[in-house]
């Protein structure tokens, strides 16, 4: 059982879906990606505008829309599985959603963020449980950013059953970076490897950007992006 993982720390940019897709494809074209590519939370649309607008409802669309089509295109072009964001509309409700898309276009998993952060007033809290899916013989699941504060209570059974937790984020942290502490605690408590793709430094510049990381089951930091890098490539066993 083995899985090669590529984390892309996409620089923040608001309302630039085509530009973000172009950036992702150019970055992957430099070097073939692993079995799975992990993208940050809301990285196609942006998380917040330069004027401080957190309302992403303007980008919301049915799951089978242009955002999913873009993720499918990336997966097909690079013959990989992509874990990426969709701002999803279902009737009158909007969700901060994530999908797992294989190279043939199959949606292997679909998750709606269960705990939107306070400024995400546009987003309905998801009720879907953490999905469980297999990649490279490893049992995997998926949670998003602010969910981290509730995982031990909400999803203990799932966390104990999996090998890898994929964790896209658009982290905001005014005082230092609390992510390593949260992720190390969860990794050790539930014996799970955690793969975090965080939004990259961009426009707007927000405290908490950067520092995507991979944390081992023991809580050790396996890899982390630096100011000079926006990509991590790691093999998980």
Give the pLDDT confidence score for residue 131 in this predicted structure.
98
For residue 170, pLDDT over 90 is answered with yes
Task: Return the beta strands (E) in the chain as ranges.
Answer: 3-8, 11-13, 36-38, 81-90, 93-101, 107-112, 133-135, 138-142, 164-169, 193-198, 200-203, 213-215, 221-224, 231-236
**Residue range 189-237, pLDDT digits in tens:** 999 999 999 999 999 999 999 999 999 999 999 999 997 789 999 999 8
Distance CA 25, CA 108 (A): 21
Domains of the chain with CATH codes: 3-236 (3.60.110.10)
Confidence of residue 13 (pLDDT cuts 50, 70, 90): very high
Is 157 a residue whose pLDDT tops 90? yes
Nearest to 2 by CA among 137, 108, 132: 137
Find where tokens 């679909």 sit: 110
Query: How far is residue 198 from each of residues 2, 65, 195, measured CA to CA in Å?
Result: 23, 24, 10
Cβ contacts of residue 210 below 8 Å, gap of 6+?
9, 198, 200, 201, 225, 227
Predicted TM-score (pTM) above 0.95: yes
Mean pLDDT of 59-68: 98
Rounded Cα distance between 99 and 63, Å, is 9
Q: For residue 185, what pLDDT band results from cuts at 50, 70 and 90?
A: very high
Strands 81-90 and 93-101: antiparallel
Q: How many residues does the chain have?
A: 237
pLDDT of residue 222: 96
- 169: its two tokens: 């984020």
pLDDT confidence of 175, banded at 50, 70, 90? confident
Q: Hunting for tokens 């890898």 — which residue is that?
A: 164
pLDDT, residue 229, reads 82
% of the chain beyond a pLDDT of 70: 100
- Both tokens of residue 29? 């074209």
- Cβ-Cβ contacts under 8 Å for 156 (sequence gap 6 or more): 190
The per-residue pLDDT for 117 is 97
Residue 227 CA to residue 230 CA, distance in Å, equals 8
**What pLDDT, on a 0 to 100 scale, did the predictor assign at position 227?**
79
Q: What pLDDT score does 1 carry?
A: 83
Other CB atoms within 10 A of residue 144 CB: 26
């Amino acid at each position: 059982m083995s899985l090669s993982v590529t984390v892309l720390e996409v620089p923040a940019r608001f309302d630039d879906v085509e530009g973000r897709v172009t950036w992702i494809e150019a970055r992957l074209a430099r070097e073939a990606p692993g079995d799975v590519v992990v993208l940050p939370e809301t990285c196609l649309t942006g998380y917040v505008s330069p004027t401080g607008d957190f309302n992403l409802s303007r980008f919301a669309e049915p799951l089978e829309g242009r955002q999913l089509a873009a993720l499918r295109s990336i997966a097909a072009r690079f013959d990989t599985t992509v874990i990426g964001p969709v701002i999803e509309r279902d009737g009158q409700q909007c969700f901060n959603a994530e999908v797992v898309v294989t190279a043939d276009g199959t949606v292997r998993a679909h998750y709606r963020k269960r705990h939107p952060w306070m400024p995400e007033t546009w987003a309905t809290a998801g009720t879907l449980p953490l999905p469980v899916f297999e990649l490279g013989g490893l049992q995997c699941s998926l949670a998003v950013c602010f969910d981290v504060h509730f995982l031990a209570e909400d999803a203990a059974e799932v966390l104990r059953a999996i090998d890898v937790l994929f964790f896209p984020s658009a982290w905001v942290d005014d005082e230092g970076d609390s992510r390593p502490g949260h992720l190390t605690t969860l990794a050790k408590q539930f014996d799970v490897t955690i793969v975090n793709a965080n939004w990259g430094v961009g426009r707007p510049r927000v405290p908490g950007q950067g520092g995507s990381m991979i944390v081992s089951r023991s809580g050790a930091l396996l890899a982390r992006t630096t100011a000079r890098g926006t990509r991590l490539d790691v093999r998980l066993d």
